[in-house]
Amino acid sequence: MEESAIKGLKLLELNDSGTDSQTPSSTSTAISVEGYDTTLKEYPLRLALQKHFASCRKITQIYVPRDFKKKLLKSVAFMKIKGEDAKEKALQLSGTDVGGWTVIVKPVPSQKIFYDDSWSAATPEA
């Protein structure tokens, strides 16, 4: 994972405060996604990721870092998915086609997730 891709992101403990970590519905996982064309626009990429990973349970966050100097997306995006078997389902999608590119899915270390509060799966972007 590119160190520059995670620079400036807030680190958040995986277990949200106030939730019961023993219940299946509160189990969250963070994954990294690679394989997309970095010249894509950010919003269509987020929509493609949301659609492709919809079967993996509830997508709560998608973060696509950018290289502002080169005006390109970074080669690694991050997603947070909530659900009992979300990690296994997401990893099974590694190597599948997403409208012309092959997605590569990797788990993000379980004790930390990458968090950007500027966009979530539930918030439409203008």
96: its two tokens: 């599948």
Q: In the beta sheet, which residues pair with residue 13?
A: 112
What angle (nearest 5°) sits at the alpha carbon of residue 101, between those of residues 42 and 45?
15
> Which of 8-12, 23-27, 44-48 has the least mean pLDDT?
8-12
Residue-wise pLDDT tens digits, 59-107? 999 999 999 999 999 999 999 999 989 999 999 999 999 989 999 999 9
Distance, CA of 14 to CA of 34 (rounded, Å): 22
